[in-house]
């Protein structure tokens, strides 16, 4: 896969755990950025999500997706859900 993926997350987020499991299960590489430890990343997430700290937020080749459902994430990445 040639897409550059950044996943903005927190340590307590269940949706983040599901998304990470999905990506790892598909063998998709990504960079994870914990917004609890990175204020600049938290501001970026908020700027992309109407002021909310919505996680996971994905930056996929410069396009942002705030907490997409797994089927939408699979569609964007061009992989099967199952």
CATH code (residue 36): 3.40.30.10
The reported pTM is 0.93
What would the pLDDT profile of 5-58 be if each residue is shown by its tens digit? 999 999 999 999 999 999 999 999 999 999 999 999 999 999 999 999 999 999
Between CA 11 and CA 19 the distance in angstroms is 13
The H or E element that residue 66 is part of is strand 63-66
User: pLDDT category, 1, cuts 50, 70, 90?
Assistant: low
Between CA 56 and CA 81 the distance in angstroms is 18
Number of structural domains found in the chain: 1
Three-state DSSP at 58 gives: strand
Give the CA distances from residue 5 to residues 2, 24, 31, in Å, rounded to whole numbers and listed in that order.
9, 13, 6
- Indicate whether 10 belongs to any domain: yes
- Indicate whether 43 belongs to any domain: yes
35 lies in which domain range?
5-77
Cα 9–12–18 angle (5° rounding)? Answer: 65
- Indicate whether 82 belongs to any domain: no
């Amino acid at each position: 896969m040639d897409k550059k993926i950044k996943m903005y997350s927190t340590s307590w987020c269940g949706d983040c755990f599901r998304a990470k499991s999905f990506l790892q299960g598909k063998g998709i590489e990504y960079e994870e950025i914990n917004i609890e430890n990175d204020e600049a990343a938290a501001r970026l997430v908020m700027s992309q999500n109407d002021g909310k700290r919505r996680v996971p937020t994905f930056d996929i080749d410069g396009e942002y997706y705030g907490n997409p459902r797994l089927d939408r994430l699979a569609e964007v990445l061009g992989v099967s859900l199952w």
